[in-house]
Structure 1
Amino acid sequence: MKVTRFADAKPYVAPLHYGMQALRLQGFDTDGPTQFWTGLSHFLPDGGAGPDASPLEKVYVVLSGELTVRAGGQDTVLGPMDSCCIPGGEEREVKNTGNHVATMLVVMPYPESAK
């Protein structure tokens, strides 16, 4: 079993994200998961990501606050414990339009270059 204590989670920089701080909870370690990685993103008010598309599918789970996710030409507001799966290649945009910090769990497969 691989345990990462929250106090030991390392920050990482996510391209095309703004007003957001990210922590890697699992992955990109020799003794971690082999098929996917997991991150935790804290979006400040007016923070967001994109628009961008990646070839990898992704799962978002909002843990607190609200985030508007635009994908497939549709805006959807996700609240606590709401989730979505965005297929690889689909453009998405994430935006915190509220006044509270929004926290989201991100699960993604590794890019081919990391295997």
Structure 2
Amino acid sequence: MLLKRFEDATPYEAPNHWGVHGLRLQGFEENGPRNQWVGFSQFLPGGGAGPDSTPIEKVYVVIEGEMTVEWDGRTETLGPMDSLTIPPGQTRRIENRSNHVCKMLVVMPYPPEN
């Protein structure tokens, strides 16, 4: 078991993201989760990511604020406690189009070992 306090979360930078501060809440540490890691992203107004895709599934959960997601010609805005599963290979773009910070959890499996 691993108890990790918020003040002990470590920052990380995600590729092709802008206007965001990411913290790793769980994952990539001894006695941590074996199958996935959990990030906490704080997107400033105008912050976002993409368009891009990853070879692994991910889940977004908006905690506070809102996040606009674009994929396959669709546009949806997620609000507090809305969630979205993004399948492997799905191209998506996200952007905080509001004037408030968007706080979001990101849950992803570990990258495949080469």
TM-score range, shorter chain: over 0.9
Aligned residue number for residue 79 of structure 1: 79
Aligned residue number for residue 55 of structure 1: 55
Matches within 5 A, 1:13-32: 13-32=13-32
Distance between the aligned counterparts of 1:113 and 1:73, measured in 2? 33
Q: Percent identity?
A: 57
Distance between the aligned counterparts of 1:30 and 1:70, measured in 2? 36
User: Structure 1 runs of 4+ off > 4 angstroms?
Assistant: none
> Are positions 1:88 and 2:88 aligned together?
yes
Aligned-partner SS, 2:90: coil
* 1:16-44 deviation line (CA, Å, top 9, x unaligned): 00000000000011211000000000000
- The answer to whether the 8 Å contact 1:71/1:86 transfers is no
* 1:37-95 deviation line (CA, Å, top 9, x unaligned): 00000000000001110010100000000000112331110000000101000001110
> Are positions 1:98 and 2:98 aligned together?
yes
Aligned residue number for residue 36 of structure 2: 36
List gaps (5 residues or longer) in structure 2: none
Structure 2 length-normalised TM:
0.96
Calculate the aligned-residue CA RMSD, in Å: 1.0
Aligned residue number for residue 64 of structure 1: 64
Tell which deviates more after alignment, 38-47 or 105-114. 105-114
Structure 1 length-normalised TM:
0.96
